[in-house]
Amino acid sequence: MYCSESLGTAVDHFEPLNHAPRRVFDWYNHLLGCSFCNSHAKGGTFPRGEDGEPLLIDPTADEPVHHLRLSLTSGEYHCLTPRGCATIDVFQLNRGPLRKGRLDAVGQCLDTLANCADLLAVDDKAGAQKRMLRLRRQPLADVLQELRRIADRPSAAVVVGDEAALAALRALYGQPVAEPVFFPRQTARHEPDCRSWKTAPS
């Protein structure tokens, strides 16, 4: 998914077929995306840098946090690298519905964290973790990941604005519900060598 919505209804060729027709059946070139990102935003667009490398972030091989930063006060993504800038532009990641959804998700996250703080106060850590797991299944879980990223920073109190919610976030950070380990796919970004394919016997 490019925009982190849960509206994945289309299979996108990450590297469009008008750029790499031989990748039509390449499994690693098939990504789930929403119809807007796939058809209306990206389409056949596939920008490359001066070195010929793709500028779009590949969500199966790249860690987006190295290229993008989410503002919890505006709901907008800001780019940290040229690849981040290209990804924001091509997929229109700051379009109105997405910004509104992220801001709504911030409120939902903070409410849930405040509830977790109440559960932790009565030593119900299991109950708090259940609520955190539920929160991670929301459509815009990138908001929760950004909250976790800033949890131990001095600015967290200003951004979160709720001491109980911030305390719960810090208490649960690093538990089994914390950020998943990221294992990037180790494959080269180029067209497959079809000469090595063997035809199955008929």
Q: How do residues 110-137 score in pLDDT, each as one tens digit?
A: 899 889 999 999 999 999 989 888 877 7
Give the tens place of pLDDT for each residue, 185-199: 444 444 444 444 444
The residue written with tokens 């800038």 in the block is 85
N- to C-terminal Cα distance for the chain?
A: 37
Q: What angle do CA 51, 184, 41 make, to 5 degrees?
A: 60
Model pTM score:
0.75
Cα distance between residue 153 and residue 148, in whole Å: 10
Give the tens place of pLDDT for each residue, 44-94: 898 999 999 999 998 888 999 999 999 999 999 999 999 999 999 999 999
More confident residue, 104 or 16: 104
For residue 132, which phi and psi values (nearest 5 degrees)? Answer: -65, -40
Low-confidence winner among 11-20, 136-145, 154-163, 172-181 (lowest mean pLDDT): 172-181
| pLDDT (0 to 100) of residue 158 | 86
